[in-house]
């Protein structure tokens, strides 16, 4: 089954009605290597559905995020973009100029987290790491 069909099935199980605009949003997210803001997605989807509502975009992204299918990418200034979720424990690198995003794994924060645990008395249970910079094309 194509990945977008799997996503649509999961959406349906969440009680989401599968409409053509929704199908388009899912298709765009599944096939995008770049992180997309809701407005980016809205503009792209409106090419096929001029009557698409921005609320549909936000609502669909919210549910995809709850399902763990897309991940929020944080930007300076507090806006969010969205990217297909990683496989397993990976972190996002984001190009601050063009929005290209990629996952990497292999962070070794174990020793640092252990040190912080014992110094602060906090019990650290998870971490979130995102790198910002310029992709090859934008340097």
Binding footprint of Zn ion on the chain (CB under 5 A): 95, 97-98, 100, 107, 135, 138
Q: How far is the CB of 84 from Zn ion (least distance, A)?
A: 18
Q: How far is the CB of 66 from Zn ion (least distance, A)?
A: 22
CB 1 within 8 A of CB 8: no
Q: Which CA distances in Å does 50 have to 19, 44, 62, 116, 119?
A: 14, 10, 22, 51, 56
Query: Is the Cβ of residue 53 or residue 68 nearer to Zn ion in the bound state?
Result: 68
Query: Is the Cβ of residue 21 or residue 99 nearer to Zn ion in the bound state?
Result: 99
Query: What is the enclosing helix (H) or strand (E) of 21?
Result: helix 20-31
CA 115, CA 118: separation in Å to the nearest integer? 5
Q: How far is the CB of 96 from Zn ion (least distance, A)?
A: 8
Query: Is the Cβ of residue 10 or residue 135 nearer to Zn ion in the bound state?
Result: 135
């Amino acid at each position: 089954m194509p990945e977008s069909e799997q996503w649509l099935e999961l959406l349906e199980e969440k009680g989401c009605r599968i409409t053509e605009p929704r199908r388009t949003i899912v298709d765009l997210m599944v096939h995008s290597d770049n992180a997309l803001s809701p407005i980016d997605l809205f503009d792209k989807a409106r090419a096929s559905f001029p009557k698409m509502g921005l609320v549909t975009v936000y609502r669909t992204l919210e549910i995809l995020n709850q399902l763990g299918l897309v991940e929020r990418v944080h930007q300076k200034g507090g806006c969010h973009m969205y990217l297909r979720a990683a496989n397993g424990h990976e972190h996002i690198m984001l190009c601050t100029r063009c929005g290209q995003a990629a996952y990497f794994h292999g962070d070794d924060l174990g020793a640092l987290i252990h040190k912080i645990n014992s110094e602060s008395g906090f019990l650290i249970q998870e971490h979130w790491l995102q790198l910002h910079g310029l992709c090859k094309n934008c340097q």
